[in-house]
Amino acid sequence: MNSPQQNTIFIGNLPFSTTKMDLQALFETFGTITNIHIPVNKETGQARGFAFVSFESGNEAEAALSVNGQDVKGRAIKVHLAHNNSQNGSAPRSGDRGPRRSFGSGNRFEGRGGFNRNRQ
């Protein structure tokens, strides 16, 4: 069974000053845009340097990939199909190296046979 064609693209390496109007102007020639989302830092309100643009069809999204590498305000943008992360809106990690590791809580030696301040 074939999965439905992806109609959302991820745009990375965007200048922080990029607006929805900038993205509309850049991508509207490829088809009907249904949504533009520019994630912002919750604390500062500043754009995080990437965005998602959704099109009416997968063919339109595929056509928009041709913008990859284009200069936008002095930066070469990265454009590819967005990953479907269960609709959580998270961005794909650049150079994904697999799951991140956690080495426990606070005390860096605890649980590894090393020094433990709480030992009697």
Q: pLDDT (tens digit, 9 = 90+) per residue, 47-98?
A: 999 999 999 999 999 999 999 999 999 999 999 999 875 444 444 444 444 4
Structure tokens at 98: 């697999």
DSSP structure class, residue 106: S
pTM value?
Answer: 0.68
Candidate from 7-21, 28-42, 76-90, 106-120 with smallest mean pLDDT:
106-120
Q: How far apart are CA 21 and CA 38, in angstroms?
A: 11
Strand 8-12 and strand 33-37: pairing? unpaired
Digit-coded pLDDT (tens) for 32-45: 999 999 999 999 99
Question: DSSP assignment of 7-47, as one string?
Answer: -EEEEES--TT--HHHHHHHHGGGS-EEEEE--B-TTT--B
Q: How far apart are CA 35 and CA 83, in angstroms?
A: 16
CATH class of this structure's domain 8-81:
alpha beta
The confidence score (pLDDT) of residue 78 equals 97
Q: Where exactly are the structural domains of the chain?
A: 8-81
